[in-house]
Amino acid sequence: MKPKKHHSIAEDVLAVIMASAFVSLGIYLFNVCGLLTGGTAGIAVLLTHVFPFSFGQIFFVVNLPFYYLAYTRIGSRFTLNTFVSVTLVSFMSDYFRVFITFDYVNPIFAAVVGGLCIGMGILIMFRHVSSLGGLGVLSLFVQERFKLSAGKFQMVIDICIVCVGYFLVPLPLLITSVLGAFALNIVIALNHKPGRYQIT
């Protein structure tokens, strides 16, 4: 059976808000424990160690070049929804601490639960013609063009990005970060198969 498209704007808006909240909570858990992640979010985390800007500010800027690929290869609706998702995550991730704080979070718990939250958020975005931009756009393009699993493709790249953190964080946190990247991408790999959802 051909998958049904979502045409309701209200439905997409609600889904993007929920997905952004999931992703932002996951990123917040990662940040509390000093964990790294993959994708453009991981690149943004790495750059916060180099430049005096917040995660949200860097994350927003890093995603800008990928909108052209999204628009030319996938479509205007996807590009607009992705822009909204990235903007919401950029804002929410910077201000999550205003609403919730933790005295202590076990790093393994943060990696697994944070990774699952981000993975669920990305999955919802995919289902509603959106993404977190960056490598999410690239992985969806590769899946549609070459019929490769978006989750597996992104998992390989994410682990490579996390490994760059070898020079920035202690080894135990780096290993825990890899666990978080695995938890994130296993959600996508198990639930987002080629042909299951349409993204145009």
Q: Is residue 198 part of a domain?
A: no
Specify whether the CB–CB gap between 122 and 188 falls below 8 A: yes
Q: Is residue 182 part of a domain?
A: yes
Residue-range definition of the domain harbouring residue 122: 9-191
State residue 149's pLDDT score.
78
Q: Is residue 138 part of a domain?
A: yes
Q: Is residue 200 part of a domain?
A: no
How far is it, in rounded angstroms, from Cα 119 to Cα 113? 10
Tell me how many domains the chain contains.
1
Q: Is residue 54 part of a domain?
A: yes
Reported pTM: 0.82
Q: Give pLDDT tens digits for 23-64.
A: 999 999 998 898 888 788 888 888 887 888 999 999 999 999
Q: Is residue 80 part of a domain?
A: yes
How far is it, in rounded angstroms, from Cα 83 to Cα 181? 23
Q: Give pLDDT tens digits for 78-137.
A: 899 889 999 999 999 988 888 888 888 999 999 999 999 999 998 898 888 888 888 777
Q: Is residue 126 part of a domain?
A: yes
Q: Is residue 2 part of a domain?
A: no
